[in-house]
């Protein structure tokens, strides 16, 4: 059975932005550079989780919340967060404090019943393994729940697609059902009755009614189309001036490395890829694997030759290192002559079957007299075999 495609709303968004970028990020697993807005958003999400950690308001004291934010903020450098300078990082920190204080003041008296924060669920559906992490789920009574998603960017209003994904994942969700029933055992039907984006910098929220069945169906068919394209290996680049300018993969992207005609050709290939059957794709992978093995063999030979020439047995690339292992080999060209010699010395019985290993054992044993060893070794050929051990260099 084909493995389920691991999918999420953010993967779908990235694929829609540019399939080639998706390929770099999720197929080739090349990480993007840290982005300060992700670090900022993540720090505020952690604070929100901390605020509702007891799941029973009131909040922890404000000093504790700010201390929590400070400790988390200081656990990474400005470079690790993706800020261009320490000064900008400090501005981010002060903005974070302002947002936390304002949120705290506005919501301290709320009578909320949060059921879960950072609620993570994986649902297997239509050949996909869909992962969703909901920032907060509130209980509204009588089996009704509200889904809250915090936003920390500049943009306040958004399309409800992400919330539709959550609605799809939460409908009939066993993990959610267990949480509700543990707290409210009398509850029968659990339904998503309200969904909202909460924009932390402005303390503004954008609330949506649950999407109708028709809307969810239409949304889900868009999800399945994206998933089918990914499964078919359709990663044709979709460049755009702004997105390419800020894309971390620009230096390696074919759009910026190839001539227009080469790019056209690549796009043609990508489109052909998407039309291929799974068995054709498997055949292509087998060929690619075979070619990679042949290439690896050639490279191994070149590396061994260079290391022997330089008389070194360990060397480093940027990410990998190799060690040169040597093994002395002993072989006999004229096997018949060896058997005759063993017979002559009455040693054939000692080897049972005169395999190379057995003869080597015999040569190293005490059964054999020095002149017999010498006679046998005269029939031997010596060679040295070189092997490479390659591993990822530890950082």
CB of 242 to ligand SF4, least distance (A): 9
Place of tokens 């330089």: 310
Residue 243 interacts with ligand SF4 (CB under 6 A): yes or no: yes
CB of 237 to ligand SF4, least distance (A): 4
Question: Could you say which of 250, 267, 350, 360 contacts ligand SF4 (CB under 6 A)?
Answer: 250
Residue 21 interacts with ligand SF4 (CB under 6 A): yes or no: yes
Question: Could you say which of 136, 237, 263, 332 contacts ligand SF4 (CB under 6 A)?
Answer: 237
Place of tokens 């680049």: 237
CB-count exposure of residue 355 (10 Å: 0-12, 13-18, 19+): exposed
- CB-based burial, 261-294: b 16+ in 10 Å, e otherwise: eebeebeeebeebbeeeeeeeeeeeeeeeeeeee
Q: Which two tokens stand for residue 87?
A: 């000064």
Of 28 and 203, which CB lies nearer to ligand SF4 in the complex structure? 28
Binding mask 70-109 for ligand SF4 (x = CB under 6 A): ----------------------------------------
The answer to whether the beta carbons of residues 146 and 140 sit under 8 Å apart is yes
CB of 238 to ligand SF4, least distance (A): 6
Of 18 and 226, which CB lies nearer to ligand SF4 in the complex structure? 18
Question: Could you say which of 62, 239, 348, 380 contacts ligand SF4 (CB under 6 A)?
Answer: 239
CB of 83 to ligand SF4, least distance (A): 22
Residue 183 interacts with ligand SF4 (CB under 6 A): yes or no: no
- Give backbone dihedrals phi and psi of 266, rounded to 5 degrees, phi first: -60, -40
Distance CA 238, CA 343 (A): 76
Residue 230 interacts with ligand SF4 (CB under 6 A): yes or no: no
Residue 247 interacts with ligand SF4 (CB under 6 A): yes or no: yes
- Looking at 276-334, list the stretches that DSSP marks H as alpha helix, in order from N- to C-terminal side: 278-310
Which among 44, 10, 48 has a CA at the least distance from the CA of 26? Answer: 10
Residue 22 interacts with ligand SF4 (CB under 6 A): yes or no: no
Place of tokens 């010699």: 341
Total residues binding ligand SF4 (CB under 6 A)? 12
Q: Which two tokens stand for residue 349?
A: 């019985």
**Greatest Cα-to-Cα distance within the chain, rounded to the nearest angstrom:** 102
Only segment of 250-258, 297-305, 330-338, 382-390 that touches ligand SF4 (CB under 6 A): 250-258
Return left, alpha or beta for 141; rule: phi > 0 is left, psi -120 to 50 is alpha, else beta: left
Only segment of 7-15, 130-138, 249-257, 284-292 that touches ligand SF4 (CB under 6 A): 249-257
Cα 354–chain centre separation: 52
Of 18 and 179, which CB lies nearer to ligand SF4 in the complex structure? 18
Residue 20 interacts with ligand SF4 (CB under 6 A): yes or no: yes
Of 24 and 93, which CB lies nearer to ligand SF4 in the complex structure? 24
CB of 223 to ligand SF4, least distance (A): 21
The answer to whether the beta carbons of residues 154 and 200 sit under 8 Å apart is no
Q: What is the DSSP letter of 319?
A: S
Residue 253 interacts with ligand SF4 (CB under 6 A): yes or no: yes
Residues forming contacts to ligand SF4 in the complex (CB under 6 A) are: 18, 20-21, 237, 239, 243-244, 247, 249-250, 253, 255
């Amino acid at each position: 059975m084909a493995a389920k495609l691991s999918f999420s709303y953010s993967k779908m968004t990235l694929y829609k932005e540019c399939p080639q970028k998706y390929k770099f990020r999720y197929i080739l697993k090349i990480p993007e550079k840290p982005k300060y807005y992700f670090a900022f958003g993540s720090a505020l999400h952690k604070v929100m989780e901390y605020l509702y950690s007891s799941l029973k308001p009131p909040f922890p004291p404000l000093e504790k919340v700010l201390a929590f934010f400070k400790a988390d903020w200081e656990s990474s450098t400005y470079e690790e967060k993706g800020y261009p300078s320490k000064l900008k990082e400090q501005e981010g920190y002060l903005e974070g404090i302002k947002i936390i204080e304002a949120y705290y003041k506005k919501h301290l008296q709320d009578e909320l019943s949060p059921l879960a924060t950072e609620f993570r669920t994986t649902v297997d559906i239509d050949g996909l393994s869909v992962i969703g992490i909901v920032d907060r789920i509130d209980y509204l009574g009588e089996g009704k729940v509200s889904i809250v998603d915090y936003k920390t960017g500049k943009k306040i209003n958004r399309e409800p697609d992400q919330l539709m994904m959550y609605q799809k994942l939460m409908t009939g969700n066993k993990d959610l059902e267990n949480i509700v029933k543990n707290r409210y055992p009398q509850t029968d039907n659990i339904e998503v009755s309200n969904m909202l984006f909460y924009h932390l910098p402005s303390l503004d929220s954008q609330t949506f009614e649950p999407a109708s069945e028709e809307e969810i169906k239409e949304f889900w068919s868009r999800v399945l189309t994206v998933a089918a394209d990914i499964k078919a290996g359709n990663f044709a680049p979709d460049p755009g001036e702004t997105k390419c300018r800020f894309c971390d993969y620009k230096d390696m992207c074919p759009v910026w490395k190839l001539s227009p005609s080469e790019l056209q050709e690549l796009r043609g290939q990508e489109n052909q890829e998407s039309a291929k059957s799974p068995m054709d794709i498997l055949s292509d992978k087998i060929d690619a694997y075979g070619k990679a093995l042949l290439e690896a063999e050639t490279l191994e030979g070149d590396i061994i030759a260079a290391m022997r020439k330089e008389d070194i047995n360990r060397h480093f690339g940027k990410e990998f290192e190799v060690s040169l292992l040597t093994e002395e080999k002993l072989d006999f060209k004229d096997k018949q002559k060896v058997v005759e010699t063993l017979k002559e010395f009455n040693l054939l019985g000692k080897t049972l079957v005169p395999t190379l290993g057995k003869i080597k054992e015999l040569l190293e044993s005490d059964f054999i007299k020095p002149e017999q060893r010498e006679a046998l070794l005269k029939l031997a050929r010596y060679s040295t075999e070189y092997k490479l051990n390659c591993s990822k260099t530890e950082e």
